[in-house]
Amino acid sequence: MKNYEKPVIITNDEIAEGVYAASGDCYTFTAEIKQKPEIGRGDYRIQVNGKHDAADNHHSSERTVQITFNMNVKYKNSLAQTVIGDGTSMLTLTYVDGVNGSYHNNGHENIGLGDLFVEADPGLAITGVSCTYCNHTCTYAGH
């Protein structure tokens, strides 16, 4: 892998400490709780966005974001194709172009990944967001 001009390279140790930053060589993801249950245990709505910033200008049609929480969550819904970690404090979501939406990215482009719904106890917080995979592949003819 090339040594890209990336200001922040984070290690697994830093992810465990809950740093919100990019990993891999291209995506920076954010996840923000936009709505929480009024009383007691219930559904949280979390907005997930990404910024693709590929130093070599590669395109992307599949990427994986890993979100960690301060407690276990029950996965309810999202636009991801696959979700790993239901019932734990870490969800790994993979979004694929053509599955639940148009998820192609140019080399430098923002992407909205829609809302993630989870059920959890009061006091849920996001402790980390990271990119664990980008397929570096374009699915569009002529790109």
Q: Which is nearer to Zn ion, 1 or 39 (CB)?
A: 1
- Residue 49 Cβ, how far from Zn ion at the closest point, in Å? 15
- Residue 37 Cβ, how far from Zn ion at the closest point, in Å? 35
Longest dimension (CA), the chain: 51
Closest C-alpha to 20, from 49, 43, 44, 54: 49
Which residues are near Zn ion by CB under 5 A? Answer: 26, 54, 59-60, 134, 138, 140, 143
Q: Which is nearer to Zn ion, 60 or 64 (CB)?
A: 60
- Residue 81 Cβ, how far from Zn ion at the closest point, in Å? 17
- Laid out side by side, the sheet with 74-77 consists of 27-35, 42-53, 108-120, 74-77
